[in-house]
Amino acid sequence: MKYQELAKDIIENVGGKENVKSVVHCITRLRFKLKDESKANTEVLNNMDGVVTVRQSGGQYQVVIGNHVPDVYKAVVAEGGFESAKQVDEDDGEKGNLLNKFIEIISGIFTPILSVLVASGMIKGFNALFIAAGWLDEQGGTYQILNAIGDGLFYFLPIFLGYTAMKKFGGTPFLGMVIASALVYPALEGIPQAGEPLYTLFAGTLFESPIHIEFLGIPVILMTYSMSVIPIILSTFFAAKLENYLAKVIPDVIKTFVVPMLTMLIIIPLTFLIIGPIATWASQLLGQGTIWLYELSPVIAGAFIGGFWLVFVMFGLHWGLVPIGINNITSQGWDPILALIFVHSFALAGAIVAVWIRTKSEKIKTLSFPAFLSAVFGVTEPAMYGIALPLKWPFIYTLISSAIGGAILGIFGSVGYVMGGLGVFQWPSFIHPEEGLNTAFMGTILAVVVGTVLAFVLTYFFGAINKNEEDSPVTEGTNEVKPTDIPQDVNSEVISTPLNGEIKSLTDISDHAFASGALGKGAAIKPTEGRLIAPVSGTVSALFGTNHAIGIVTEHGAELLMHIGIDTVQLDGKFFEAHVSQGDKVETGQLLIEFDIAEIEKAGYDTITPIVITNDDKYQRVEVVAQGNIKTDQPLLDLES
């Protein structure tokens, strides 16, 4: 392992394994909680190759590493035999409210498989389209193989969720897959069709259940777990808790095989006997409940969900609705929730076209076409954060048009039958499995046309586009020199300002690692507004889980680190909201992170934000070209290689 020796030396000089209570990491440093900090050899660590500096603060012994801290952390955990960050950091700080915690868990479970989930749904949708158009025969081999490709993930969905959920809950992912595999084991699923039941439980009630087999004399209520969602999530939650407990009490010499064996022997029967049936009934009730609410007034439901979907996305609340939609499809065979959001991306695209035509800003014209194209294909972030939100009215008119489009979908009873793609790729998911291109499907066409045209007309005539540009972060009206006014080539680059606020020197920062320039040259800003904007186009190279720090690699190769506040990692994400993900391509002016300055300072943390070039050794000059009060999109750093 590349960092094995470094990890070994770090552990030795923090007082050894026995002196470490826990270790986690943030975007630049290892954060140890030591039993006795006096046992740590700070001087040796400060002079160690691979260590930038050492800082002791807030009850933590911090070893500053730099950008490659995740790799060093993995080596330290492996070398020391420590538990993962999720396990050792449960008691640190406040975790936010239950809604935020729930959304964070759901997001962590579904995000890893969402792209293949959508891809599978698209294949199923297009296969349905081919049947409806008469291009394929349901008995033919082509249809059967395409159906297997599209349906495979959905049928074995519990196995995929078993991996991601177990990982999210801090257990062994493959153990989650084994639990899920038992739930969808074909021989057990086929038992109810093989013969008459032994007897019936709860006869005459909503929960009437025929009993075909028993486990140690206890009746087993066999359910169909293929394509299910909730049973495996609940099962892995308890499995992870049990596994971690057993890992602490089982002797090391037999732990490797005894812990998973006992976890399976306890959790799998428990799931068949209790967890599975209860979770299945809960998922069915959830599906019927959401459909009941929808059927109370499909028009109101469509207007509300369609109109506010982009707002839900901004605040991360959409993760509370996505699993409900998936659950409805798997348990009921159809879903209205995710269907009602269909118009929002087209309405946004219509608004962007209006901006594109009306704007006098060359910069916005340049951004508009790729933003429009992304919106049509269901990727709304570039258009929403880069253009519509900064100009305000295009965003408002998009919400209004999406609400009207959602109401039309409700009127026609348009629902989804598979988990489809986004934008134009979602269309095939509306094809009825038996009726094909029915009236409800035609309603989706009308809804998209009305939503798109309305958003265009409202934005074109009432968007106050050029007036809004004067106050918008996209163009930021000012007499100061803009980064685009300074000639750039491969040997030079200008980094604009990501925050509104007051320029400070790095030496004004209380954190020695930043103040000394050890983490890179740059500047600091005392923010006056809690919005961090992309100061340059590039790729998000790092986004720490607490959303307090972000790294961007620019198109010319500069590695930029922006760290909101000092020691704000201790807030564990509270008061921070990210609008991008690691790996995203971002454009100058795009909103990256929102944060609550007042609440952060009320909690006792300084919001001064260092902006540094972490690969400054590649540049002959990293010059701060701003002073005093500054606004976003004004030049901040001038780099010359």
Q: Which CATH number fits domain 483-640: 2.70.70.10, 3.30.1330.40, 3.40.930.10, 3.20.20.70?
A: 2.70.70.10
The two beta strands, 635-640 and 209-211, are unpaired
Q: Is residue 563 flagged as an active site residue? A: yes
Q: Which of 212, 548, 563, 579 is catalytic?
A: 563
pLDDT at position 411, please? 93
Q: Which of 346-360, 418-432, 568-582 has the lowest mean pLDDT?
A: 418-432
Instruction: Indicate the residue type of 541.
Output: S
Task: Give the start-to-end residue ranges of the domains of the chain.
Answer: 4-88, 156-294, 297-469, 483-640
Q: Given a cut of 60, is residue 17 above it in pLDDT?
A: yes
pLDDT at position 621, please? 83
Q: Is 576 helix (H, G, I), strand (E, B) or coil?
A: strand
Q: What are phi and psi of 542, to 5 degrees?
A: -155, 135
| pLDDT per residue as tens digits for the range 375-414 | 887 767 667 766 787 778 898 999 999 999 999 999 998 9
Q: Can you tell me the mean pLDDT for 42-55?
A: 83
Q: What is the mean pLDDT of the chain?
A: 82
Q: Given a cut of 50, is residue 487 above it in pLDDT?
A: no
Sheet holding 521-527, edge to edge: 585-586, 538-543, 549-554, 559-563, 609-613, 521-527, 501-504, 629-630
Instruction: Indicate the residue type of 20.
Output: V
Contact status, residue 211 vs residue 191, Cβ threshold 8 Å: no
Give the closest residue to 468 by CA, choosing from 334, 358, 625. Answer: 358
Q: How confident is the model at residue 286 (pLDDT cuts 50, 70, 90)?
A: low
Q: Which of 191-200, 278-287, 520-529, 578-587 has the lowest mean pLDDT?
A: 278-287
Cα–Cα distance, 97 to 78 (Å, whole number): 33
pLDDT at position 471, please? 46
User: Of 56-70, 94-108, 590-604, which has the strongest mean pLDDT?
Assistant: 590-604
Cα–Cα distance, 322 to 107 (Å, whole number): 9
| pLDDT per residue as tens digits for the range 530-556 | 999 999 989 998 887 788 999 999 888
**Higher model confidence: residue 113 or residue 409?**
409
Cα–Cα distance, 239 to 305 (Å, whole number): 35
Q: Is residue 26 flagged as an active site residue? A: yes
Contact status, residue 381 vs residue 407, Cβ threshold 8 Å: no
Q: Which CATH number fits domain 4-88: 3.30.1360.60, 3.50.50.60, 3.40.50.300, 3.90.870.10?
A: 3.30.1360.60
| pLDDT per residue as tens digits for the range 65-106 | 876 778 888 889 888 888 654 433 333 434 445 655 666 677
Q: Can you tell me the mean pLDDT for 584-611?
A: 90
pLDDT at position 488, please? 40
Q: Which of 26, 212, 318, 548 is catalytic?
A: 26
pLDDT at position 483, please? 37
pLDDT at position 101, please? 64
Q: How confident is the model at residue 485 (pLDDT cuts 50, 70, 90)?
A: very low
Q: Can you tell me the mean pLDDT for 253-265?
A: 92
Q: Given a cut of 50, is residue 481 above it in pLDDT?
A: no
Q: How confident is the model at residue 37 (pLDDT cuts 50, 70, 90)?
A: confident
| pLDDT per residue as tens digits for the range 119-163 | 776 787 777 778 777 888 888 899 899 989 988 887 898 999 999
Q: Given a cut of 80, is residue 27 above it in pLDDT?
A: no
